[in-house]
């Protein structure tokens, strides 16, 4: 396998945690890695190959203009490495918009794809995570784009989660077909008329179904998807913080919380975004994994593992097939 | 004070829990109550006044046609009681859409209000709840309606939560002014140009800010607001369920969970929708409290208490003033 191009400069804890995660992916999982960034700032790279890039797109920079202007940035060079056949995939925990723009502008779209979409995994306690897309690539969508999101989401659920026949649903504010905005009603009609793959389109679901087993893939526009994703993250964080605060009060409570440490650690892992190793930009000609800005070494190792899995399963080939039908 | 009209037939646990809650509001809080429903089905009403209504709009009935057709339903009669000066407010845990339609058609809109909106309280651990509106009344909005939502939300936050100078924010997918869909960008410009009251418009917030102290009032269209509200509810439920499941495993964990019962009960109450006694439909000529379908006696007592507080504070008068400026 060609190496996975890792943007060593992107993320709140770059480059140290990114390099550490890349080393673990290489040493412990046997995955070839190509670090992209400023060689002098990477520290000990343990012999990993480095592709030099002199510029860094900041986390809060304007994506489009940054990518156009900073041609020697780690993000742009990582995307070019995939385009030029020097790497098999790219992974970044940096500026999400700039990651998308780099992948889109350098790799290009899969033929027939109207718009790439970000697919994120939402934890479902006791079950398989739910694939949510678009979780932020397109703030405004046309209703028929959601048909392609459904087709691509079904392929992703099959390869990423091993669900043979994924059930695809549309995010709305009521389960009945007539519920929702005019946009959602049009998308509903388009999804009903289309071949989405897997177990097919099962209708509307609501926000409360995201973290349940109601559907395997949930499609929506990128604005609603991003609000839902961040709302879920915020709610989990608020409750976990409140839980830890409450448990740090009475001495008896502190003691009991100590006993419960294994259970609490398990929950923390199950619900933490890092566990899933990042989202995937579906619809570009190459594997592009977008990790959380807070990515640490373990999360980066997971993200590289996911990238390798997607390359080995030829997800991009299967996505191309799904949207062409 | 005129009595609070309570839809005795609405909700998953109607009429028994609704009547029990009404009795507690009357007996323990001294609030006059007018029960609306089928006298023969209400059980012991402890001497509370009853307004007879022979029909019941089912929880899953189509709202508009039900309200137009079922003129002797408990919901329509409750709204008429407010219109006719027989009650000072209405409260229902029944069909949300039909509650809105009854209030809108029978009470009418406050002069100048384009569209009423549902304001919901979102728990913020360790702080004052956040007011979210519109959380579901209008699946599609015009950008300038959000200015009125902001004005009404600020009045509501002041009266319901005692925040003297509420900070109003717009829900988007990035904090910068340029972030979001074309609809959100237009709404941003309209909010910036308007006088929204309180501490004024403070800009965009994201989904992850709903349960933090980032803003006191967050405005959005009714589709996004409803998705966000239900996503937060679903995330909290998923995590609480996973927590309880994890704590019911090892014998030591069960014992520790027992010790933590007071803390866990506190958290459960803090995050449970029932604690806040329901949402309020802002913009109609009367107080209309919309309670969760799962409302039990305690939640109904709280909802009636909120209704009484809103009547005493003349919230409807203040809303009319806020939108006319």
Check residue A197 and give its pLDDT. 80
Residue A232 class from Cβ within 10 Å (0-12 exposed, 13-18 middle, 19+ buried)? buried
Check residue B302 and give its pLDDT. 94
Specify the range with the lowest mean pLDDT, choosing from A23-32, A176-185, A270-279, A298-307: A270-279
Q: Which of B26, B27, B24, B20 is nearest to B4 (CA)?
A: B26
Closest Cα of chain B to A231: distance in Å? 4
**A24 contacts A297 by C-beta, under 8 angstroms:** yes
Residues B123 and B271 occupy one common structural domain: yes
Per CB-CB distance under 8 Å, the chain A contacts of B273 are none
> Is the Cβ of B181 closer than 8 Å to some Cβ of chain A?
yes
Residues A196 and A169 occupy one common structural domain: yes
Q: Kindly state the average pLDDT of the residues A73-77.
A: 98
Spacing of C-alpha B88 from chain mean position: 17
What percentage of chain A reaches a pLDDT higher than 90?
86
The model's pLDDT over A162-177, given as tens digits with 9 standing for 90+, comes to: 999 999 999 999 888 8
Residues B87 and B157 occupy one common structural domain: no
Residue A287 — φ and ψ, nearest 5°? Answer: -85, 125
> Is the Cβ of B248 closer than 8 Å to some Cβ of chain A?
no
Q: How many CB pairs under 8 A join A and B?
A: 197
CB contact under 8 Å between A173 and B123, yes or no, is no
Residues A182 and A289 occupy one common structural domain: no
Residues A152 and A259 occupy one common structural domain: yes
Domain boundary among B250, B275, B300: B275
Chain B, window 98-157: residues with a beta carbon less than 8 angstroms from a chain A beta carbon: 123-126, 136, 139-140
Residues B243 and B128 occupy one common structural domain: yes
Give the nearest partner residue to B253 out of A221, A222, A260, using CB atoms.
Answer: A260
Chain A residue with Cα closest to B247: A263
3-state secondary structure of B73: strand
Q: Kindly state the average pLDDT of the residues A264-287.
A: 86
Give the nearest partner residue to A271 out of B123, B228, B239, using CB atoms.
Answer: B239
Most B-contacting residue of A118, A183, A231, A247 (CB-CB within 10 A), to test interface: A231
Residues A249 and A310 occupy one common structural domain: no
What was the ipTM of the complex prediction?
0.93
Most B-contacting residue of A65, A145, A208, A220 (CB-CB within 10 A), to test interface: A208
Task: Characterize B203-214 residue by residue with b for buried, 16 or more Cβ atoms within 10 angstroms of its Cβ, and e for exposed.
Answer: bbbbbbbbbbeb
SS3 annotation, A176-206: CCCCCCHHHHHHHHHHHHCCCCCCEEEEEEC
> Is the Cβ of B263 closer than 8 Å to some Cβ of chain A?
yes
CATH number for position B125:
3.40.718.10
Check residue A269 and give its pLDDT. 82
Residues A140 and A261 occupy one common structural domain: yes
3-state secondary structure of B252: helix
d(CA A147, CA A155) in angstroms, rounded, equals 13
Find the domain containing A305 and state its range: 1-113+283-325
CB contact under 8 Å between A263 and B247, yes or no, is yes
pLDDT at B205 over 80: yes
Residues A204 and A182 occupy one common structural domain: yes
Q: Kindly state the average pLDDT of the residues B56-70.
A: 94
Residues B301 and B162 occupy one common structural domain: no
Domain boundary among B275, B294, B309: B275
Check residue A324 and give its pLDDT. 85
Q: Phi-psi category of A184—alpha, beta or left, where left has phi over 0 and alpha has psi -120 to 50? A: alpha
Give the nearest partner residue to A235 out of B184, B236, B263, using CB atoms.
Answer: B236
Check residue B270 and give its pLDDT. 83
pLDDT at B325 over 80: no
Residues A251 and A291 occupy one common structural domain: no
Residues A300 and A270 occupy one common structural domain: no
- The mean pLDDT of chain B is 94
Q: Residue A279's pLDDT band (boundaries 50, 70, 90)?
A: very high
Q: How many domains in chain B?
A: 2
Per CB-CB distance under 8 Å, the chain A contacts of B241 are 125
């Amino acid at each position: 396998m060609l190496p996975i191009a890792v943007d060593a400069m992107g993320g709140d804890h770059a480059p140290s945690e990114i390099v550490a995660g890349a080393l673990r992916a290489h040493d412990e999982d046997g995955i070839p890695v190509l670090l992209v960034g400023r060689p002098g700032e990477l520290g000990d790279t343990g012999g990993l190959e480095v592709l030099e890039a002199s510029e860094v797109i900041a986390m809060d920079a304007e994506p489009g203009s940054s990518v156009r202007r900073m041609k020697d940035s780690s993000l742009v060079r990582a995307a070019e490495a995939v385009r030029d056949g020097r790497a098999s995939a790219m992974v970044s925990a940096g500026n999400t918009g700039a990651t998308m723009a780099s992948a889109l502008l350098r790799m290009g779209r899969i033929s027939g794809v109207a718009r790439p979409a970000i697919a994120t995994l939402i934890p479902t306690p006791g079950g398989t995570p739910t694939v949510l897309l678009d979780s932020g690539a397109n703030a405004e969508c046309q209703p028929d784009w959601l048909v392609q999101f459904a087709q691509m989401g079904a392929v992703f659920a099959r390869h990423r989660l091993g669900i043979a026949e994924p059930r695809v649903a549309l995010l709305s504010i009521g389960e009945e077909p007539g519920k929702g905005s005019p946009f959602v009603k049009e998308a509903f009609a388009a999804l009903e008329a289309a071949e989405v793959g897997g177990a097919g389109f099962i209708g509307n679901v609501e926000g409360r179904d995201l973290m349940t087993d109601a559907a395997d893939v949930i499609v929506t526009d990128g604005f609603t998807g991003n609000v839902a994703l961040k709302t879920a993250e915020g709610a989990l964080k608020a409750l976990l913080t409140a839980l830890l605060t409450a448990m740090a009060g009475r001495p008896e409570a502190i003691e009991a919380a100590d006993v419960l440490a294994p259970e609490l650690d398990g929950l923390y892992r199950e619900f933490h975004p890092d566990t899933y190793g990042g989202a995937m930009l579906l619809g570009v000609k190459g594997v592009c994994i977008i990790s959380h800005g807070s990515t640490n070494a373990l999360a980066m190792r997971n993200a590289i593992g996911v990238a390798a899995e997607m390359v080995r399963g030829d997800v991009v080939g299967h996505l191309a097939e799904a949207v062409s039908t």
